[in-house]
A and B are shown apart, each in its own frame.
Chain A
Amino acid sequence: MTHVGRLETWILICMIAGMAIAGDVLTAGAMRRIGDLDEIRARSGLAGAIKAVAGNGMFLLGVLAMALNFFTLLFTVSKVDVSLAAPASASLTFIGNAAAAKVFLRENVDRRRWIAVLFVFAGVMLLRR
């Protein structure tokens, strides 16, 4: 049921991915600062866990990016097949996240994780056809 051209389709998908990467990296950075939520919930209850998360500025910025991502997704799935838009944007997000996590979060993105990136990239190429 795709209603738009190929270029517009992939511009929309890239916009979804870009905002998702910003949201993911910001929220992951925030969660690292906050610590294990299961432990916080055990110690301070659900309200304490919510307070710890909602009071973190980096988390709120991440949520803003995710909200923009959500409305772009909503706009996109009304024009493009969800079976293309959802996995394609998620795959691009995964590739961008691997690089962003290494640079910004200093995660150890080893060979195993980069091989996974290549598989995902190949998968995205097939989704484009």
Chain B
Amino acid sequence: MSPRHHLDEATVVSFAAGALSPEMRAVAATHMEGCAQCRESLAQAEHIGGALLGQQQAAPADAARGARLREAMLALLDAESAAEPPVRQEAAPTDPDALPRPLQPYFGRSWRGLRWRWMAPGVHMIRAARGSGDTLILLRIAPGKSMPLHSHQGTELTQILRGAYDDVLGHFGPGDVADLDNEIEHRPVTAPGAPCICVAALDAPLRFPGWLARKLQPLVGL
């Protein structure tokens, strides 16, 4: 099933430019694994990068240094012509227990290996070890649960892995991504049936308008 909610083009541009934080990149790459439309946009954005690289005027180089590097490259070619070209590994068959590959550096390889922490009634979370400063979390929310109304001071990128939720923006199911910025205020409600599991990257703390949610915020640590 193709996703119905996609990455913002501005996010795709930053992905192509290598300008997303590693945490945002992991979530965006997880979405792209299952989204042909966003992969096509990415190819477009990479063409822009290629055109910019091609147009770039080389800085006046240190001639001696440049010549040494050139010699080194010729030596590498000599060494290479003796060696066999590297064979690219085929992707392993899909293991239903495997986490999406872009998430594995942060959360391990398998669903079964996840160590969920209780956060609030019906809400479990795993926070990836601190990397670049952005926050990367896995959230598991029980079915039919309403999350506190909140907005964002920065960007929140959320990819639905299992289950579903609904908010003012619509219905978000597996494979959908919510690419939100500080203009959005929402109160996600998880769909009945199965828990909703999603991965989210945040570049700033969430903002909860309600007094109860504000009280919870320090406890939840978001």
Judge: A and B partners, yes or no.
Answer: no
Spell out B's residues near A (CB within 8 Å). Answer: none
